[in-house]
């Protein structure tokens, strides 16, 4: 399936450029007895709309059908506020943000980290971990999963109605 997804990614590239979109993530999963091709797109300026997702879905539906023989559902959406970080460019783009990281094996005695993304260099994530209170180096090769952490702006839950 990975080869099919790579081919699919190449074939939709021109459509992404045409619509001023960028591919944030792509996955083919089985969920609840059904197969889903999930395509996550966004505009770099953060203005991705539902119409963008609908229009892009229409553009690529035929391409997906050509490549995948079994029955599946195509879903096109934005990656969301707690988006996954997978590619080196994701880590560079979100420097300074708070992230949640799961490693494949223990690093500093644990597999789970939460903290500020300080740096990304030589395929390594440098995270200022909240619990350890120090920078932890996590090579991409040891990364199981990483995503942004969305936090409500200060005072939003404490504001009183006037």
Tens-digit pLDDT profile for residues 39-67:
999 987 878 999 999 999 999 999 999 99
Per-residue pLDDT tens digits for 72-107: 999 999 988 888 998 898 999 999 999 999 999 999
What CATH number is given to the structural domain containing 96? Answer: 2.30.30.180
Is the domain of 9 the same as that of 66?
A: yes
What is the pLDDT, as a whole number, of residue 122?
92
In this structure, are 112 and 69 located in the same domain? no
Q: Which of 52, 77, 102 is the last residue of a domain?
A: 77
| Residue 60 and residue 41 share a domain | yes
Closest CA to 126 of 81, 159, 94: 94
Q: Is residue 102 part of a domain?
A: yes
Q: Tell me: do 99 and 132 sit in the same domain.
A: yes
Q: What is the pLDDT of residue 161?
A: 47
Of 51, 77, 103, the last residue of a domain is 77
Q: Look over the chain and give the mean of its residue pLDDT values, rounded to a whole number.
A: 89
Q: What is the per-residue pLDDT for 47?
A: 86
pLDDT at residue 157 in the model:
58
Residue span of the structural domain in which 122 resides: 88-148
Residue 158 in domain: no
Task: Identify the residue with better confidence: 151 or 123.
Answer: 123
Residue 162 has pLDDT above 50, yes or no: no
Q: Give how many domains the chain has, as a whole number.
A: 2
What pLDDT is stored for residue 105 in this prediction?
A: 92
């Amino acid at each position: 399936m990975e080869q099919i997804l790579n081919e699919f990614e190449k074939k939709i590239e021109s459509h992404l450029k045409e619509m001023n979109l960028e591919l944030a993530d792509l996955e083919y999963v089985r969920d609840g007895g059904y197969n889903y091709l999930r395509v996550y797109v966004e505009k770099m300026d953060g203005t991705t709309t539902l119409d963008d997702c609908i229009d892009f879905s229409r553009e690529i539906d035929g391409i997906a059908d050509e490549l995948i023989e079994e029955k599946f559902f195509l879903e096109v959406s934005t990656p969301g506020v707690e988006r996954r970080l997978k590619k080196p460019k994701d880590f560079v783009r979100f420097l300074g943000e708070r992230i949640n990281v799961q490693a494949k094996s223990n690093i500093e005695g644990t597999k789970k980290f939460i903290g500020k993304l300080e740096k990304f260099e030589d395929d390594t994530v440098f995270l200022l971990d909240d619990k350890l209170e120090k920078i932890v180096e996590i090579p991409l090769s040891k990364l199981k999963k990483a995503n942004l952490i969305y936090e409500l702006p200060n005072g939003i839950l404490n504001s009183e109605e006037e």
